[in-house]
Amino acid sequence: MNPHREIVIAGNWKMNTTPEEGVALAKSLIESLRRTPGVTVVICPPATHLGVIGGQLKSSSAELGAQNVHWEKSGAYTGEISAEMLLEVGCRWAIIGHSERRLYFGETDQTVNKRAHRALEAGLRPIVCIGETLAERESGQTFDTLRRQVQVGLEGLTLTGKGGLVIAYEPVWAIGTGRTATPEQAQEAHHFIRDLLAEQFSPQIAELTVIQYGGSVTAANAEELLTCPDVDGALVGGASLKIDSFLAIVQAAS
């Protein structure tokens, strides 16, 4: 963490909780969050919950995010959601290019780029996910992969640094596996990504852009990861579904 940068802790609920369970989870979060300032907290429930949780969050400091957003405003795109729809139910954020979208649903750096353009244009803050697979890490291709994902995924975007796009570095081998990157591995990748942003945009944008770590973040390892100078928050999957562990991660960040 760096005192000049925003800290963002986001919970990615993935395809978990029914609407009723989600409302209960959001309710306990809202009640407890009043005591945890200094961190931007975002929850990204499944699409079916967004309207009702958006209403709940009006009385909270936590913000609402979606797990995807399409690059067109409307049209014949069965199964997709537009930025306009998300904004109307209170979303301020959208996760884009999560590795599960890349792996199971054909998401590419090019579609990530289109989605990110649209999100920014519409006024949603994108959380663009990047990260290498285990095979890429083991064959020494981690930095090539990150370079490609940043170069293509963020191509042509107008970044503001503060209050805008967030990058989530999520090594694929660490997602849902219980195998977290060491603080050294996370810091090395985050520093590299910040250098890429400086090259592609400007040193100032690089300095202000939030880079979250994601991949098996828990209450037990959050603090050591968040202590790394270039780690500005976390994208939390499994541990965001339990109120105690998610709050402990928020607490570690504040």
Q: Which residues pair with 95 in a beta bridge?
A: 127
First to last CA, the chain: 10
Does 113 participate in binding ligand PGA (rule CB under 6 A)? no
Which of these ranges, 45-53, 116-124, 130-138, 234-242, lies near ligand PGA under the rule CB under 6 A?
234-242
CB count within 10 Å of CB 187 equals 18
Q: Which is nearer to ligand PGA, 111 or 240 (CB)?
A: 240
Q: Which is the catalytic residue, given 49, 98, 107, 132?
A: 98
**Angstrom distance (rounded) from CA 54 to CA 45:** 10
Does 235 participate in binding ligand PGA (rule CB under 6 A)? yes
Which of these ranges, 61-69, 193-201, 205-213, 235-243, lies near ligand PGA under the rule CB under 6 A?
235-243
Q: How far is the CB of 107 from ligand PGA (least distance, A)?
A: 14
E runs forming strands in 6-62: 8-12, 40-44
Q: Which is nearer to ligand PGA, 39 or 239 (CB)?
A: 239
98 catalytic per annotation: yes
**Angstrom distance (rounded) from CA 184 to CA 181:** 8
Q: For residue 33, give the nearest of 209, 241, 247, 193 by alpha carbon.
A: 247
The residues of the shown chain that bind ligand PGA, judged by CB under 6 A, are 12, 170, 175-176, 214-217, 235-239
Which sequence positions are flagged as catalytic? 98, 170
